[in-house]
Homo-oligomer: A and B are copies of this chain.
Amino acid sequence: MTSTFAPLTSAFAQAIISSDPSKDPVALDAARTAIIDFLGCAIAGAGDRTTGILADTVGANLPGEAILLGSSRRTDPLVAALVNGHAGHVLDYDDVHASVRGHPTTVIIPALLAFAAEREFSADALIASYIVGLEAMARLGLSLGSKHYENGFHATATLGTIGATAAIAHLTRASIDETAVALGLAATQSSGLRLQFGTDANPFHAGMAARSGLLSARMAAAGFGGAPDFLDNPVGFHSVYAFGAERPSAVTENWGSPWQIVTPGLTLKAYPCCTASHPVASLGIGLNREGLEADAIEYITFTYPPGADAALVVSKPGNGIEARFSPEYVFAAALIDGALRLDHFDERPVLPRLMDLARRAGRRHDETAPRMSSDPRTRFVIVDIVLRNGSAIQRRFDGLPGLSDPAEKFRDATARNPAFADVPSLVRTMSSTADLRQLLALLNQDAAQNPE
């Protein structure tokens, strides 16, 4: 029943609504793991200065039944989607996906949680819809090619809007026509510029995508019309956002075989700082365990493939927010403290005891290595350390480190607040409507009331 007028949009809508990830235990397990990881990040982010400003600005005092994560308030669903998406991304500690080239969970889960204020559904349905929304977002990422990101769009936002709409369309088993319209309404709200990286607006992008995704699904369900051909129209999605690098067949080919949440899968951040600074973090923690002392070090050199430190725009950070983007500081903190905690990367000034070592580090590029691509397997870092005693140490890290079990990260992110202690085990086992209601009740508590 696909339309000859819009075959690709129809095929995409059909794949979204007829998908069934509920029989794939590996995908379901990956989804539960990612949801635990995301919820920890969002509860930690609920207390951020900018989350508070945003909540006040968009109207968190408006009436409504949607929960704010890590807060005992409830509000309007569109506002909740926006604020929760922002909170999940504000620490830049949430998962990333290579096909998206961005952060899917902090867009899709807030949209689904907000939708729970308007419609009853089960935890199983939420998990399946999340997998499908992520699939839609990742497929669009592959189909757009690399220029979308390189020329300046923030894929978390632009693709997230459509991924969130897809998740809700799957959840409601909308018709093909209604789904195609909803996806087009999402596409026409797709925005977000990478020039906002490193500012308060970066996490806001995740929130606006969650809100726009929910709104698009709502509008189409209410009979609001829109173009049914956003992927087929001659001035359509690829014409506007791909800059000539599109591969439209990637939208549906091998859909769910395997699911994108399984292969290539999500990377759950191991440290609360920029993804690109993770390899030196792992190297620093490893050298700490080997017993290397900062005082013994004369000079440190990081060698990257060309382009691999492009996101690491800071060398001499002033505060912890900037330090997320400084491999020099990240390495110093990892080596000296043997761990990277949230308080290494908050708004307070950087610690002189760590800056003392960070100042002794520098970078170079191996121009003979292939330029870094979005594929994390092309990443590597070599650290060369000259010791004061004249000897030298070299270590190398290939790829990106990531967590397989976010349990300890969740405890750290929630400051071991017992109010949230049962969330991970509930997410591991939840299936019914009652389970989802219980999860919402647990999450709707105030993170700032920390008994520790």
Contacts and interface: CB of A to CB of B under 8 A. Distances in A.
Nearest to A185: B201
Contact of A239 (B56, B151, B201): B151
A294 B20 CA distance: 60
Contacts of A205: 188
Interface in A196-210: 196, 199-201, 204-205, 208
A193 B188 contact: yes
Contact of A191 (B151, B189, B204, B239): B189
A192 interface: yes
Interface stretch (A223-231, A259-267, A349-357, A392-400): A223-231
Contacts of A193: 187-188, 227, 230, 235-237, 240
Contacts of A204: 185, 188, 219, 224
A219 B54 contact: yes
A222 B53 contact: yes
Given A54-B219, A222-B56, A240 B196 contact: no
A222 B57 contact: yes
B235 A151 contact: yes
B53 A223 contact: yes
Interface in A212-269: 215, 218-219, 222-227, 229-230, 233, 235-237, 239-240, 243
A26 interface: no
A298 interface: no
Nearest to A223: B53
A224 B191 contact: no
A420 B50 CA distance: 43
Nearest to A153: B240
Given A184-B196, A224-B50, A235-B194, A219 B152 contact: no
A115 to B, nearest CB: 13
Contacts of A157: 188
B54 A195 contact: no
A235 B196 CA distance: 10
A201 B188 contact: yes
A37 to B, nearest CB: 26
A90 B78 CA distance: 23
Interface stretch (A58-66, A368-376, A411-419): A58-66
Q: How large is the interface on A (under 10, 10 to 19, 20 to 34, 35 or more residues)?
A: 35 or more
A76 interface: yes
Contact of A235 (B152, B190, B224, B233): B152
B222 A201 contact: no
A347 to B, nearest CB: 11
A49 to B, nearest CB: 9
A138 B248 CA distance: 34
Nearest to A229: B195
A416 to B, nearest CB: 30
Given A50-B224, A222-B53, A224-B57, A188 B192 contact: yes
A235 B153 CA distance: 8
Contact of A225 (B50, B57, B192, B240): B50
Contacts of A62: 59, 62-63, 76
Contacts of A76: 59, 62
A76 B57 CA distance: 12
B200 A240 contact: no
Contact of A58 (B78, B194, B225): B78
Nearest to A77: B59
Interface in A165-203: 184-185, 187-196, 199-201
Interface string A38-70: 000000000000100110111100110000000
14 contacts: A54-B224, A57-B218, A58-B78, A59-B76, A59-B78, A63-B63, A151-B235, A152-B233, A193-B235, A195-B230, A200-B224, A200-B226, A201-B226, A204-B224
Given A188-B201, A195-B229, 16 more contacts: A53-B223, A54-B224, A57-B219, A57-B222, A57-B224, A59-B76, A151-B235, A151-B239, A188-B193, A189-B208, A190-B191, A193-B230, A193-B236, A193-B237, A195-B230, A200-B225
8 cross-chain pairs, A with B, having the tightest CB-CB distances, nearest first: A152-B235, A191-B191, A200-B225, A195-B233, A152-B240, A201-B226, A188-B193, A195-B227
